[in-house]
Amino acid sequence: MGNASDTSSMFASTISKEHDIMMGSLYSVFCILSFVGNCLLLLVAYHKRSSLKPAEFFIINLSISDLGMTLTLFPLAIPSALSHRWLFGEITCQLYAMCGVLFGLCSLTNLTALSFVCCLKVCFPNCGNKFSSSHARLLVAGVWCYSSVFALGPLAQWGHYSAEPYGTACCIDWHTPNHQLSALSYIVCLFVFCYALPCTIIFLSYAFILLTVRGSRQAVQQHVSPQTKTTNAHALIVK
């Protein structure tokens, strides 16, 4: 009885019913917009699949991860928010949190890979121009494998998933590290390898791009029109 009572209280909402209804309504709007927008992008990509550039594979992958999040999280979060409690039990809670981590990390890691590829093409064109569609597919597969390690970790007892503080959804349990060394190591690795490192790579990549484009603009300012320079920089990035 005690365990059932604890589980029931863990999945009870801690915010007002009015706020839950408002959040459920917002989730519904976001779900529809995300589904329609990402489906349209994937449809366009499908029709031009024979002429896709390497960098566009990362845009497609970003759309897939966003669509995955839309299809796995919103259908559970919306009725739970409207019902003022998590409705789907502890096992589904674990799977919900895993999907949230998987698709969320995939999006961030994908943006990191995209920024790095753009940096290669703009700042190191000799290397960047050798980056092919096959390389892009391989890197996209690596993005999913990298994200899967951290998403599946809590299911293998490295870290832990639990109800979120407000009770109507599930995520990483941020309190368990106070009691378990393995959970603490998971949180530390998650912060370093899935937040600090990707953000640093993104920042440095676009900083190098900015410096390179600025230097090129100054070097050819008297020989090339501004419109041509802008077009050339854009072509390097999306090539």
Give SS3 for 124. coil
Sign of the alpha-carbon torsion through 81, 86, 92, 97: positive
**Contact by Cβ (8 Å): 76, 171:** no
For residue 96, the Cα-to-chain-centroid distance in whole angstroms is 15
The pTM score is 0.86
Q: Determine the CATH number of domain 2-238.
A: 1.20.1070.10
Structural domain boundaries in the chain: 2-238
Q: What is the pLDDT of residues 131-178, one digit of tens each?
A: 999 999 999 999 999 999 999 999 999 999 998 888 889 999 988 766
Q: pLDDT tens, position by position, for the chain (239 residues)? A: 445 555 666 788 888 999 999 999 999 999 999 999 999 999 999 999 889 999 999 999 999 999 999 999 999 999 999 999 999 999 999 999 999 999 999 999 999 999 999 999 999 988 888 999 999 999 999 999 999 999 999 999 999 999 888 888 999 998 876 678 888 999 999 999 999 999 999 999 999 999 998 887 877 775 655 555 555 555 555 55
Q: How far apart are CA 70 and CA 89, in angstroms?
A: 20
